[in-house]
A and B are shown apart, each in its own frame.
Chain A
Amino acid sequence: MPNETGRHAPRDVSRRNLFKQVGLAGAAAAISGTAPAVVTAAAEPAPAPALKPQERLEALETLTAAEADKLEAIVARLIPSDANGPGATEARAAHYIDRALTGPLRASRGAYAAGLAAIDVYAQSAKGAAFAKLAVADQDAVLADMEKNVATGFAPDAATFFNLVRTHTIQGTFCDPYYGGNADFVGWDLIGYPGIRMVVTAEEQRMNVRTKPVRQSAYADATFTMKGGSHGHRP
């Protein structure tokens, strides 16, 4: 399976690392693309334990370890790993955000610092513990309060931060893997996107046609190579 993802390919999202990161069933789903029945939204008793720093796949680029743990916990609830397969965790959406906050999304770095601090203060007051330590039902309740803009302590407000993280989580889950998200194409597989093809026939634009997925970054194509400079492509 071609899996070239350019200079910033997800660094070895190996079976072993995935097991460490999301647990056995989630990793099986991420790798096989099948939906394991054992992981469902209803059957999640406890939060995924926050990663210890030595377990991260690579060093953080801008987020602190505490911020990264909180962000991982948030994206895991926005697009959960469940009966429908891997989610934002396996896509490595938080990794995408961490990296992008040093580049194209750097203007949002302050909003993340403030928002990730505020979410713990609110989680503590509303649910009695820091966000990452809450059970998933309580995490969902906190996020729902943010979305409804009734959670307090955010600047300018909770909904703004919620929408920011949601937007970036979607980007990190469904983007070209060159940017460090959509690892193993889990986002594209989820919604049935058949991938980037350079030639599309009329037959392939018929409604009932299911073209075989192409799992390849745009930058795997020699036309768009990064050799000779990143050409403005700072992820």
Chain B
Amino acid sequence: MAIDLKKTDVVIVGLGAVGGVAALPLARAGADVIGLEAGTWLSPRDFAPDELRNNFRGWPQSAQKANGEIPTHRPNASAPYSPRLPIHPMMNAVGGTSLHYWAQSWRLNPWDFKVVSETTRRYGAARIPKGSTVEDWPFGLEELEPYYDKVEYEVGISGQAGNVNGAIDKRGNIFEGPRARDYPMPALTGTEFTDRMAATARKLGWHPFPGPAAVNSQYYDNRPACLYHGFCNRGGCHIDAKNSTAVSTIPKALATGRLKVVTQAIVTSVAVDERSGRVRGVVYLKGGEEYLQPADVVLLAGYTYENVRLLLLSKSKPFPHGLANNSGQVGRHYITHHTGATLAALFPFDLNNWYGLPAQGVAVDNWADDNFDHSGLDFIGGGNLWVYSDRRPIGAASMSTFSKAPTWGSNWKAFIKENADRWNLAYLQKTTLPYEDNVLDLDPTVKAALGFPVIRITADHKDNEKKLGAFIQDKMAQWFMEAGAIAVERGPQGTMGPSTHAYGGTRMGDNRETNVVDRYGFSHEVPNLGVLGASVMGTSGAHNPTLTAQALAWRTAEHLSKNWRAIAN
């Protein structure tokens, strides 16, 4: 029997990038919030500049819940499983993956909210790819702008604005939608190499700009500026210059006295009141005991896979196919960013990319979203071009030999001795759409440590993504070659296995037949259940999801606090 705990106002499942944000407006509004986190608090001691541990070993210093739940993948329902990933894309800790993410903090492009209507208006409805389940978001960028703004200032984002209230600033992204004000911090500095790439882009008539980052470019919120030491990629920041929620919004929420953090709490299901069909709390395991934490409102704030998994695992009389899933929509409209179809370049000179961070770089959005005319093209959407400074020795030595050398032996050794610092890889985030048959469900056979099934991904890139992938590779190749590269190499399109950019599964929309949550992030079927994270996003855009997921989380939390009686009672 679960130990019944004292009821609280709100329980948040997962204190990562989005749960850690949502806790702040709720706590400030006076709600008593319990944050259940599977991981623990980590400290600077856990953030050693250790490539092997950070990039290859799945963070042994953190709780290993996610690494026991790596989703399985098959490209389609009749294909064999892909090889299982050795480590989960995400990790568990207070602050979650915002501790070791790349910290790129992008707003979506205005088009990403209106893919259907804008494509139809500009090119005709026939241009929506066959089989895609894409819908317009229930609102446009202007609705989310104030929340982007709040998160940028509360979390701390550095960047160069390109459009403040309609005034275009060519130093920033001229394609971004209007923002109310500048970023709270100037952009991170460029390196000589990224500056060179920016100059080349200008020569091509493109509009390069420094990317936005949840990294302090200067002293901010009582934390120091980045020291560019080069271990940000799957590494935590030992000086707290990376603005994970563990050092930004969560401490602020704790300071209100309203947030209680429970670590090493593994939530196994959401409890339902079978008479009312409302949720009454969550069940979790901690230290060998099972607890029921009752709450007026439950907010799921796990990663996309875990939000979907918890809903599907929480079966009850009113919800026999999983919580909030009487519509059969949980797990549908699944997307991972198409980051296959990479483009690697080899230069005839050293780039000195040994230091810096993946958020320190130069972007070009001329070929992203609908920023260019697609009339004569056979796809919709686009890709963000991004060149950054990030290199460590194991990764450097594992470089492609660009068909210029064998992969081992003396000739290989001579090749990497000369070229380990002469290459750059663009991973090219591309618009990726949801399709009828790209879905998540519970794996029928593969189980995690506690005996519960892991998520099974059934998904593959479709024609639109493949054509777009080839197109954007060409643009990136053009940029690298113009900057002096002597060779480029196109990465394969790949398939859609577990990813750090996973969207959908609990999509947000007004139509309750095709969406799990409403425009505020609350379940259409269960009024006191909210879902936070990129699992509510219906389109991916061509940029990193975290800031959008955080802005949505803030908005959901604010909506809850302003409509407490209607939602909680």
Contact = CB atoms under 8 A, between A and B. Distances in A.
Interface string B34-74: 00000000001111111111001101111000000000000
A1 interface: no
B413 A82 contact: yes
Give the most central of B48, B50, B355: most A CB within 10 Å. B48
B222 interface: no
Using C-beta atoms within 8 Å of the partner chain, give the interface range for chain A.
35 or more
B60 A233 contact: yes
A199 B229 contact: yes
B168 interface: no
A197 B414 contact: no
A188 B416 CA distance: 11
A104 interface: yes
Contacts of B238: 223-224
B397 to A, nearest CB: 5
A200 B226 CA distance: 9
Contacts of B228: 199-201, 205
A78 B59 CA distance: 28
Nearest to A104: B57
A218 B397 contact: no
Using C-beta atoms within 8 Å of the partner chain, give the interface range for chain B.
35 or more
Contact of A41 (B192, B394, B410): B410
A68 interface: no
B210 interface: no
A223 B45 contact: yes
Contact of A178 (B50, B62, B189, B411): B50
A210 to B, nearest CB: 8
Nearest to B350: A207
A155 interface: no
Given A205-B228, A207-B349, A231-B46, A191 B396 contact: yes
Contacts of B417: 84, 190-192
> Chain B: interface secondary structure?
loop
B12 interface: no
Nearest to A169: B408
Interface string B13-49: 0000000000000000000000000000000111111
Interface string B364-398: 00000000000000000000000001001110111
A192 B420 contact: yes
Given A170-B397, A171-B56, A223-B44, A84 B49 contact: no
Contact of A80 (B50, B356, B410): B410
Contacts of B164: none
A230 to B, nearest CB: 9
A219 interface: yes
B380 to A, nearest CB: 38
A123 interface: no
A218 B409 contact: no
Nearest to B416: A191
A176 B52 contact: yes
Nearest to A143: B408
Interface string B339-357: 0000000000111101110
B396 A193 contact: yes
A60 to B, nearest CB: 21
B45 A80 contact: no
Contact of A207 (B50, B192, B416): B192
Contacts of B407: 147, 166
Given A175-B51, A207-B351, A78 B393 contact: no
Contacts of B49: 196, 198, 218, 224
A73 to B, nearest CB: 14
A191 B355 contact: no
A170 B354 contact: no
Contacts of A199: 227-229
Given A205-B192, A205-B352, A170 B50 contact: no
B315 to A, nearest CB: 33
Interface in B406-460: 407-414, 416-417, 420-421
A93 to B, nearest CB: 11
A209 B45 contact: no
Contact of B409 (A77, A204, A224, A233): A77
Give the most central of A166, A173, A175, A182: most B CB within 10 Å. A175
11 contacts: A79-B413, A188-B393, A191-B393, A193-B392, A198-B227, A200-B229, A205-B355, A209-B352, A218-B48, A223-B48, A232-B61
